[in-house]
Amino acid sequence: MSPGAADPMEDGLHFRRSARNRSTLITLAVIWLVLLTLLLFLEAAWWIIAFLGAFTLPALWDVVRDTQSGLELSAYTLSWFTGRRSAEIALEDIDHMRLDTRLDFSVRATAVLKTGRKIRLPFECTPPHQAFEDALTAQGLKVRRTHFQLRQ
């Protein structure tokens, strides 16, 4: 299974992602090359370069620590983890799942419980939305899709 891929199990879904992946490393390298180019060839002020470079520090920290995240959907539970945080919900407590497509085309998942409480799943631990939606429907959960809402 490739990193960041969803693995459909016969009774659910298993997804795992690592922060130390090719796209993160390439993105960091490109940003640092652009900043270095601005500093050396365009003579940008060092403090501006340092300020802009500071925005890459959280991604660098994740790469160094190799933060893991993932989600597992079984016949009875929906559980996820990211870094030191983890949670688990019994499927019988979930009224429906909301998959919201945001303006940046990312999809956010929210578990709406039968009590009305909403639990947002961390973005980094959610699998590709179509595989996730298929697995949720296979488990008998209702899935509501919303697209491009400014207020939720």
Q: Which residues pair with 81 in a beta bridge?
A: 70, 86
85 CB contacts (<8 Å, ≥6 apart)? 122
Percent of the chain with pLDDT over 70: 90
Q: Which residue has the higher pLDDT, 27 or 67?
A: 27
pLDDT digits (tens, 9 = 90+) for 71-119: 999 999 999 999 889 999 999 999 999 999 988 888 999 999 999 999 9
Q: Which residues pair with 91 in a beta bridge?
A: none
Q: Which domains does the chain have, with CATH numbers?
A: 6-17+69-147 (2.30.29.30), 22-65 (no CATH)
Please answer whether residues 110 and 149 qualify as being in contact, where contact means their C-beta atoms are separated by less than 8 angstroms: no
Residue 2: pLDDT band with limits 50, 70, 90: very low
pLDDT digits (tens, 9 = 90+) for 56-84: 999 999 899 988 999 999 999 999 999 88
13 alpha carbon, distance to own chain's centre: 16
Residue 143: pLDDT band with limits 50, 70, 90: very high
What average pLDDT does the segment 20-29 reach? 92
What average pLDDT does the segment 39-60 reach? 95
Residue 144's pLDDT is 94
Residue 12's pLDDT is 78
pTM equals: 0.73
Residue 151's pLDDT is 65
Residue 1: pLDDT band with limits 50, 70, 90: very low
